[in-house]
Structure 1
Amino acid sequence: MIPTLPQASTILASLGQAAFVWDIATDTIGWSDHVSAVFPDVPPTALVSGAEFSKLIEPVRSIRSEALGHSPPAQGSDGVPYRIEYGVRTSTSAPVLWIEETGRWFAGADGKPARVQGIVRVNNELHARDEQLVKLSRHDPLTGELNRTHLVAALAEAIEETTRFRSSCAFMLIGIDHLARINDAFGFDVADAVISEVARRIRARLRAGDVLGRFSGNKFGLILRNCTVDDINVAAERFLAGVRDDVVPTKSGPVSVTASIGAVSVPRYARSADEAINRAHETLDAAKRRRAGSFSLWRPNVERDAQRRVNIRVTDEIVTALNERRIVMAFEPVVEAHSRRASFYECLIRMEQDDGQVLLAPDIVPVAEKLGLIRLVDHRVLELVVAELAASPNVQLSLNISPDTTMDPDWWASIESLMRAHPGVAERLIVEITETVAIQDIDDLRGFVTRLKNFGSRIAIDDFGAGYTSFRNLRKLGVDIVKIDGAFVQNVARSADDRAFVQTLIDLARRLQIKTVAEWVQDEESAVMLRDWGCDYIQGRLIGLASSQRPWDSRGEAVLPAAC
């Protein structure tokens, strides 16, 4: 026996749907039974005509009529399909009911819509999901504030607006200080709680019309509209106090937090979003360097701008010199303190310029490090030093490497390849590392030292005494040579403090069986004093300064200046 099917209107109602027929000429709408199940709070009088029903629709009341007008013209008797979405609200306090309407319209004799039939259904869940996706595409999921993409777009719009109306605004970058320490001490979940709370505190102190967004992991961007320079200073202190005055409660206990701020006045000192962001970044970095929890406002600086022009020029010169093989070596002898025989030569970088002048290492290395070019320079220096060692079998050379090079996998690949190509070179190579590197990453540096020593090379710590490396770390690293910083050596014959310091370093190094080199030896009196204290090698003006001429003969034996 075939069961009796319920009426179509009952099925539609159970699915949250209702069918309708809309007569355009009379503007009357006929609905299927149980339409009240779809529109429970809508009075029947509001459903009898298109005009009455449109009064409940938002955001655009005319959306139904416009959908028919924008549809392609009817081609036959099957009608023209359409689909629209809109909200229905019965009162200002009532929630919006989101509706999806699907149907077809049929043309009259004039070819225009005369009759519409279709189905409406409630799609609140689908609309909520769409709204959530839109929100996620615009907002940071952790804080709920604008994400970086939309923050930058809002900044560009604000700059355009201030330019057009000759007003002013400010862009701020607020950076949470030492967030990495919180990550390490408590975990990322606690750090996330701190970020969320800082965002809430900043949000609570904004004015109407101001814009807040999360710029990056520990940074927030603020657009402060109608904001003068005086207003910027007041606002910055308000935000800084809001972050620092109360500890942040977390599941791991209260956490004390500070923030630093960099700001720029727009459009006075920034005509584009990129320029505003760069200058806010610059001042934020300056604030952090000065003191955590401080504020810095961008202002023009003639010296800074001139230095940047120099940086751009030097960058081009270094890259060109690398490409044209104008990066060359100078060799400074390091001699045994007793015999004054050359033990090895320190390779120092030089850059030949187009006008014939030569730039020395102090002119090149700091700029190359600052501009991110030191990696390329160090690769070239390695090639030159290995080539010299391969060409002179009896010579020992040392080269200086920058801190970043110790962790550069490409440098390792290069040295491994060169050592395999030139057997016997590694044993005559000394790699000098500045003391500051040893302080920062002692465990990583120990791996670097071990790999080099496995090649057969020796390791020297350069400028020892200028930083804070302990002799315990020297023993842990297993270095072969300590080069005593020349600032303590150059006046050793005239300074009792320098004598006590250098003599102590030499004595401790001897106890650890580490060789010592005294740099910047200026006179014979100092050289004799260092020799008597047990210093192994000396280097400096007394012995001979660096020269681009190879200070050894064809057999690799030293040819030192007569002063030696």
Structure 2
Amino acid sequence: MDNVISDALIANGQAIFICPDPQQASLVLVAGESDWLQQLLPQAKLNQAFNLEEQSYFLQDFLIDAKALWGNSVPGQLNSGFWTEALDNHISLHLDAKAIKTDTNNVLILTNQADAYSQKQKTLQAARNILLANDQLQAQYEHLHNKLLSMINTSHSVNNLFTPVVSAVENASFGVIIFDAEFNVIIENPAVFKTFEVTHFARSTLTSPSQIMLKLMRSQLPEFSRLIETSASWNGELCWMKPPHTLKWLKVGFYPVRTDKQTLSNWLFFVHDISREKYLLQQNESLSQQDVLTSLFNRSAFWQYLENQVAEEIPFFLLYIDIAQFKQINEFYGHNEGDQLLIELSRRLSNLIAPTDFLARMGGDEFAIVLNNIDSLEKCKAFSQKLFSLTNQPFYTQEDESYLIGLKVGAVSYPHDSLQPEDLLKFADLSAYSANKKTRNAIQFYSQELKEASHRRIDLEQALKLAIENDELLLNLQPILNLKTLKIEKAEVLVRWNRPDEGIVMPSEFIAIAEKTGLIVPLGKWVFNKAAEYLKQLERSDIQIKLSINLSPMQVMDSSFFEFIKSTIERQQVDPTLLELEVTESSLINDYNEVFNLLNSARGLGLSVSVDDFGTGYSSLAYLKRLPIDILKIDRSFVQDIATDANDKAIVMAVIAMAHQLKLKVIAEGVETQEQQRFLVDNECDSAQGYLFSRPILFADFVKLISSQWQSS
């Protein structure tokens, strides 16, 4: 027998045929069990010729190329690759074939790959298990670096870190890099040198982990400039080609660090080597382009598809989708429920898009869709309405609790908005970031005006920092009336900004910027302190009336804010029962323990708590039962049409009845007509505020108004 045949027989499950004529074959050897061969080729008998043309379709296709090989005079070989043969008796064989041309023979080798197929399936499942286990490790990693981030944020200065923080950084199992605000490196821990395989002694300016990291961010992250401009955080994956040819995959976390006044002081990077998981994906082709959790295409597959569509000059719309309030939902219900939300939304999105469209999970709670069958802005808007309809049906936890979500969508058009894939994604990201945060679902199309508005936000951010530091803001008060007595019983404190070089900046503009940049924390402290001063001045005028102060979600989550409240009350020597905290409904679904602790501690001091904008958020009755609150404020969007809209009437009546059953008071916002007032009185709403009674007014005018009321009573 030819040596090439002997060399080929390396395992059981192989059958070797000599083919003197391309139409005929003769079985010369079978290794191991031969049942599979009899099922595939029942005519095959040892040393007996039979006709190859009557066999499997897959084998016939392969034999076309094999005959061409055998017809040559030059030795060589040809492989079929793996295929599955379904037999009439419902048995499937997993096979491959090899054709060999030797000096003396034409050889055909068939191999039963049942064991290899089984092993491959086991490997695939093992890969999934490892990846899922890696997700759990990533959760532990996220917990550890969140703890470290918290420690650094509570330090007086990153440049002079407390010993425990330094120790945590130095001993962390993942890479940590700390920059100042201008990206000058302050700390690079030992783990990050190990990740980039650079020693302290051998590094140069260009090969330091910090510089490598910045280069990767700039080259691979289209939204990096927007993140820097807005001082935003980011989590994701980057790849690094270690010279000369070694590829590493990195899990990267990127966070701003701020001072007490929310001025940017440092940038914090966490770096974790996930090359092992990535190589495992690459070895399993079905997983390499797949998001493990949702089974959608992943970010890498999306980039390849986007670049291909641009290269082929095929017009399309790109939608970048972000789940509103995902972090809060994830934290309130738990990470497992957050995963289930992503899986369910993925299923709904998959059922919505056309076969010609492309859907990918970009990471976290972000998705991207390429709409190839949409050729106009109007059609894209129509599709977005179908997209938003997916969120009208509630999502359910494993405990059968229901909740709703919102989607923020950024949209760009190729080739109208850009010809570059990187710009398309960057513009879509910016558009999603700019989508209206006041509505549950919103779509924002990219435009030059949007880009200019982004620069406007940056300008306002810088000016707002100075306004807070230089005490350029002022407070207005809007009276809240008891609907039975029509007497002012308290007032809501509202911040205003009269910018020296511009004039009035609307609260809807600068409050949104403050919330996005973190300036809401020092701004909120300024408001609370100023309200306490007003309360003290009212006390000197023998006026005792409650002031209601709005808290942002960021303040609610600030673990140090209660101590600020307590110290301010003590310093100003005001009656805490004359202070009320207003939290938005969306604030309630932040970290439950943090929310509960703040509100419970505040009530322990004597402050009352109200829930603002009730009915517009994502909460359920569970929040009202669990959290220490006293008052519900019905959002103005339900009040404005209660005289004419049956649905709004029903909603307002239901909220009042429900609140009273829970022993809560009810305030209606945005009351502007006597018809609205009569409806609220008839349905036993406790209090109201709005232009019908008074606009927000300066403190001096409020003092005159309340003084005249007290004198007339």
**Normalised by the size of structure 2, how large is the TM-score?**
0.42
Between the aligned partners of 1:407 and 1:154, the Cα distance in structure 2 is 32
Taking structure 1 as reference, are residues 156 and 313 closer, same or farther at Cα in structure 2, changes over 3 Å only?
A: closer
1:437 maps to amino acid: S
Residue 621 of structure 2 corresponds to 471
Candidates 579, 599, 602, aligned match of 1:429:
579
Q: What is the aligned counterpart of 2:664 among 502, 514, 519?
A: 514
Aligned CA distance change for structure 1 residues 400 and 155 (closer, same or farther; 3 Å) = closer
Partner of 2:142: none
Which of 694, 700, 706 aligns to 1:544? It is 694
> 1:555: Cα distance to partner?
11
1:246-290 per-residue CA deviation (whole Å, 9 max, x = no partner) reads xxxxxxxxx98964299999xxx999xxxx999967756878999
Cα 1:460–1:193 change in 2 (3 A) is farther
1:455 maps onto 2:605 in alignment: yes
> Residue 525 of structure 2 aligns with which residue?
379
Displacement of 1:327 in angstroms is 1.0
Deviation at 1:379, TM superposition (A): 1.5
Alignment of 1:303 with 2:449, yes or no, is: yes
Aligned to 1:405, which of 544, 550, 555?
555
In the alignment, what sits opposite 1:366?
512
Q: Hey, what does 1:441 align to over in structure 2?
A: 591
How big is each residue's C-alpha offset from its partner over 1:37-78, in whole Å with a ceiling of 9 and x where there is no partner?
xxxxxxxxxxxxxxxxxxxxxxxxxxxxxxxxxxxxxxxxxx
Q: 2: distance between equivalents of 1:355 and 1:284? A: 32
Q: Residue 643 of structure 2 is aligned with which of 493, 517, 524? A: 493
Cα distance, 1:387–1:137 mapped onto 2, change above 3 Å: same
Match for 1:390: what amino acid? K
Contact kept, 8 Å, 2:310 with 2:419, in 1: the verdict is no
Distance change (3 Å), C-alpha of 1:174 and 1:472 = closer
Contact 1:138 / 1:150 at 8 angstroms: preserved in 2? no
CA distance, structure 2, for counterparts of residue 492 and residue 367 of structure 1:
32
Letter in 1 for 2:465: V
- CA deviations on 1:359-384 (whole Å, 9 max, x unpaired) are 33223211221233211211211111
The one-letter code sitting in structure 2 at the alignment partner of 1:502 is: V
Candidates 481, 491, 501, aligned match of 2:631:
481
| 1:389 counterpart (522, 531, 535) | 535
Q: What's the counterpart of residue 332 of structure 1?
A: 478
Residue 545 of structure 2 aligns with an amino acid whose one-letter code is: V
Q: Is the 8 A contact 1:331 1:551 kept in 2?
A: no
- C-alpha distance in structure 2 between counterparts of 1:360 and 1:375, whole Å: 19
When residues 472 and 157 of structure 1 are mapped into structure 2, their CA distance, relative to the original with a 3 A threshold, is closer
User: Residue 196 of structure 2 aligns with which residue?
Assistant: 137
Aligned to 1:87: none
Provide the C-alpha distance between the structure 2 equivalents of 1:517 and 1:367, rounded to a whole number of angstroms.
Answer: 28
* Root-mean-square deviation over aligned CA pairs: 4.9
Whichever residue aligns with residue 452 of structure 1, its letter is A
Matched-pair contact (CA < 8 Å) for 2:636–2:669: yes
Superposition TM-score, scaled by structure 1 size: 0.52
Matches within 5 A, 1:46-445: 136-138=195-197, 150=212, 153=215, 197-198=280-281, 230-231=310-311, 259-260=361-362, 301-355=447-501, 357-393=503-539, 394-445=544-595
Q: Cα gap change, 1:201/1:330 in structure 2, threshold over 3 Å: closer, same or farther?
A: farther
Q: Whole-Å Cα distance in 1 between the matches of residues 283 and 709 of structure 2?
A: 72
Paired amino acid for 1:331: L
1:551: how far off?
4.4
Following the alignment from structure 1 to structure 2, what is the Cα–Cα distance between the partners of residues 463 and 343?
A: 20
1:227-256 alpha-carbon deviations (Å, 9 max, x no partner): 88734999xxxxxxxxxxxxxxxxxxxx98
Aligned 8 A contact 1:334 1:346 in 2: yes
Amino acid at match of 2:449: E
Number of aligned pairs? 352
Structure ID, larger Rg: 1
SS in 2 for 1:309: helix
* CA offset digits 1:2-23 (Å, max 9, x no partner): xxxxxxxxxxxxxxxxxxxxxx
Verify: 1:503 aligned to 2:649, yes or no.
Answer: no
Counterpart of 1:465 in structure 2: which amino acid?
Answer: G
Contact 2:480 2:488 in 1 (8 A): yes
Q: CA deviation at 1:385?
A: 0.9
Equivalent residue of 2:618, what SS? coil
Deviations 1:501-552 (A, max 9, x none): 1011101111111000001111112112211211100110111110124444
Q: Is the 8 A contact 2:562 2:602 kept in 1?
A: no
Q: Percent identity?
A: 21
Give distance in 1, aligned partners of 2:646 and 2:303. 59
Aligned residue for 1:329, secondary structure, equals strand
Shift of 1:442: 3.3
SS in 1 for 2:461: helix
For the Cα contact (< 8 Å) 1:327–1:350, is it kept in 2? yes
Alpha carbons of 1:223 and 1:544: their partners in 2 closer, same or farther (altered >3 Å)? closer
Shift of 1:334: 0.4
1:431-477 C-alpha deviation (Å, 9 max, x unpaired): 10011111343343112210110111000000001123233321211
